[in-house]
C-alpha cells in the first residue's frame, strides 16, 4: 500500500509509505472523527474557534508538536506559495496576515508544522530528502489550473536548491474522477487554458463531464521533472468515503475540514 491509515493517540490519519521510509518527516492527512467519536473538524473559518483550536492541538500532538509550532495556510484557490520559518509560529489558530492568500507553504526548518485544509480539493505533499525541505499545497481545480504544484517546486528550487528529480510527492485524498463533475462552463475555462486537458475529461452527458485532478497533478509534476516512481497517489475519493472524510460536494457549506500536516523531524 502506498497510502495507509494510522491509528494515533487520539485520531486516525493517512500517511504515504515513501515519505515514512525516509524517516525525515512526520506527516498525515486527517479523517473526520477522533477515536472518542467526536468530530475532528479543523475548519479555521468556523464561528467556534475554541473547538477548532482544540482539534488543532490534537493534530499537533499526533505529530509530537505543540499548537504553537503549527503554521496555517489561508487558502483562496490560487497558486501562491510562501516560505515559512520559526518566526511564523506561535499564532495558534490565528493566521498571520502574511499568510493570507497563500495556498502553499514550504520550509526547511525542523519541528515546524505546515498545515493546509481540505474538503474535496487535492492535498499535495512534497519532500526533498536531499536538501531536507518540505512543502504542502492546496490544489482545487482552480489551483490545478494555475499549476500550483509546479509553483511549489519552483519555490523549493529557488529557496533550497531542490532538484525535481530528487523530490518525493504525495497526492492525498480528494474528490476523485468518479465524483468530480463539472458543467460546460467550467470545462470551457479549463480547455481554454489547457486544451490538452480534454484527455482528463469523461463526458457524462451533453453538458456534464468528470475530471481526473489526480492525474492532472501527477502529469504536471512529471512535466516539471519529478520521476513517476517518486509520486504516490492515495486514490481515495473524499465524496465517496463518507465515513472517513468530509466533502463539500456531498455536505455543502456545512462540511467540516480535514488537514494535511507535515514537519521535518
Domains and CATH numbers, the chain: 3-176+212-264 (3.60.140.10)
Cα 251 from Cα 233, distance rounded (Å) = 24
Per-residue model confidence (pLDDT) at position 97: 63
Cell reading at 87: 518566526
Predicted TM-score (pTM) of this structure: 0.96
Q: Return the minimum-mean-pLDDT range out of 88-97, 140-149, 159-168, 213-222.
A: 88-97
**250: how many CB neighbours lie within 10 A of its CB?**
17
Query: CB-based contacts of 42: which residues, under 8 Å, 6+ apart?
Result: 30, 52, 55, 56, 59, 117, 256, 257, 258, 259
Strand-by-strand arrangement of the 168-171 sheet: 81-83, 104-107, 133-139, 122-128, 168-171, 231-233
> Between 148 and 89, whose confidence is greater?
148
Beta-carbon count within 10 A of 158 CB: 12
First to last CA, the chain: 23
As a whole number, mean pLDDT of residues 190-218 equals 96
- When the pLDDT of each residue in the chain is averaged and rounded to a whole number, the result is 94
- Residue 211 · residue 182 · CB < 8 Å: yes
Amino acid at each position: 500500500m502506498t497510502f495507509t491509515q494510522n491509528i494515533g493517540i487520539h485520531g486516525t490519519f493517512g500517511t504515504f509509505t515513501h515519505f515514512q521510509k525516509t524517516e525525515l518527516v512526520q506527516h498525515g492527512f486527517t479523517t473526520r472523527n477522533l477515536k472518542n467519536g467526536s468530530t475532528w473538524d479543523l475548519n479555521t473559518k468556523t464561528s467556534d474557534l475554541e473547538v477548532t483550536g482544540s482539534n488543532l492541538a490534537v493534530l499537533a500532538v499526533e505529530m509530537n508538536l505543540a499548537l504553537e509550532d503549527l503554521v496555517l495556510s489561508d487558502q483562496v484557490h490560487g497558486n501562491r506559495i510562501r516560505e515559512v520559518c520559526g518566526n511564523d509560529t506561535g499564532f495558534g489558530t490565528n493566521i498571520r496576515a502574511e499568510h493570507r492568500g497563500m495556498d502553499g507553504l514550504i520550509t526547511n526548518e525542523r519541528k515546524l508544522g505546515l498545515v493546509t485544509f481540505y474538503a474535496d480539493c487535492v492535498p499535495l505533499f512534497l519532500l526533498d530528502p536531499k536538501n531536507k525541505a518540505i512543502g504542502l499545497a492546496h490544489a482545487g481545480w482552480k489551483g490545478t489550473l494555475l499549476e500550483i504544484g509546479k509553483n511549489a517546486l519552483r519555490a523549493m528550487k529557488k529557496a533550497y536548491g531542490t532538484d525535481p528529480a530528487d523530490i518525493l510527492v504525495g497526492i492525498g485524498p480528494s474528490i476523485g474522477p468518479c465524483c468530480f463533475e463539472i458543467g460546460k462552463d467550467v470545462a470551457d475555462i479549463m480547455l481554454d487554458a489547457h486544451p490538452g486537458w480534454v484527455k482528463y475529461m469523461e463526458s457524462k452527458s451533453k453538458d456534464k463531464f468528470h475530471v481526473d485532478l489526480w492525474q492532472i497533478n501527477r502529469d504536471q509534476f512529471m512535466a516539471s521533472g519529478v520521476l513517476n516512481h517518486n509520486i504516490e497517489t492515495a486514490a481515495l475519493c473524499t465524496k465517496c468515503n463518507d465515513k472517513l472524510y468530509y466533502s463539500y460536494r456531498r455536505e455543502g457549506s456545512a462540511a467540516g475540514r480535514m488537514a494535511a500536516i507535515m514537519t521535518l523531524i
